[in-house]
Amino acid sequence: MSELLTHLYGQQHRLCSTPAGQLTLVLSREREIDLIELEQLCDAVGWSRRPLRRVRRALQNSLLLVGLWRHDPRLPKLVGFARCTGDGIVDATIWDVAVHPLYQGAGLGKQLMAYVLELLQQQQVERVSLFADPGVVAFYEAQGWELEPLQRRCAFWYAP
Ligand SMILES: CC(C)(COP(=O)(O)OP(=O)(O)OC[C@H]1O[C@@H](n2cnc3c(N)ncnc32)[C@H](O)[C@@H]1OP(=O)(O)O)[C@@H](O)C(=O)NCCC(=O)NCCS
């Protein structure tokens, strides 16, 4: 099984823990993100659509892309996503954090964020920020993120 997972999701994949334990959910920075699947995920969480060619370029220009996959040996399904932009040394910003509504509330968003931060820390990025929608500020705060202008290492802004 582990060889198959490495083949599908890359060396740095991580298995997620889930309450039911029946599904295999995998975080991966290496498995390629399909634009249509990503669009479907964004639709599912209620985000407005962006032109696919612009999304493609945005992904190409990103520092890090992370997919959360429901494992299937034939066709893994994208059920979560996050990406980062930045210089990869001093600064990174996390964007487009999403977990499909069917999979929310199971600790996957938290594991997705932890995975992203670990990968950024491996690159020794000094400062990470994100822009949180008002309805998810508490989600980030519970994970130790602090509101600007406290000027701590991890920070996020919300522009009203
Ligand atoms: C925000 C989101 C990524 C959270 O994913 P998730 O898998 O449901 O989150 P988790 O199950 O890992 O939740 C972890 C903890 O945060 C809490 N939490 C989850 N969403 C929350 C929210 N919107 N506000 C406050 N707390 C929240 C959970 O209750 C849980 O608490 P616990 O550790 O005490 O049990 C997901 O709800 C989502 O994709 N939302 C739509 C898109 C979105 O708004 N993205 C953020 C853009 S800034």
Please write the tens of the pLDDT for every residue from 31-56: 999 999 999 999 999 999 999 999 99
| Confidence (pLDDT) at 155 | 52
Instruction: Give the pLDDT of residue 69.
Output: 98
Q: Is 107 in the pocket of ligand 1 (CB under 6 A)?
A: yes
Distance 136 CA to ligand 1 centre (A): 7
158 is catalytic: no
Between the CA of 150 and the centroid of ligand 1 the distance, in Å, is: 23
What is the domain range of residue 54? 2-157
Cα separation of the two ends of the chain: 47
Is 144 a pocket residue for ligand 1 (Cβ < 6 Å)?
A: no
* Amino acid letter for position 55: V
CATH number at residue 137: 3.40.630.30
Extract the residue ranges of the chain whose pLDDT is less than 50: 151-154, 157-160
Q: What is the pLDDT of residue 18?
A: 87
* Contact yes or no for 41/79 (Cβ under 8 A): yes
| Helix ranges restricted to H, the chain | 2-9, 35-44, 52-60, 108-122, 137-141
Beta strands per DSSP E along 9-76: 14-15, 25-28, 64-70
pLDDT, position 152: 45
pLDDT value, residue 160: 39
Q: Closest residue (by CA) to atom 46 of ligand 1? A: 97
Number of domains in the chain: 1
For residue 130, give the ligand 1 atom closest to its CA: 48
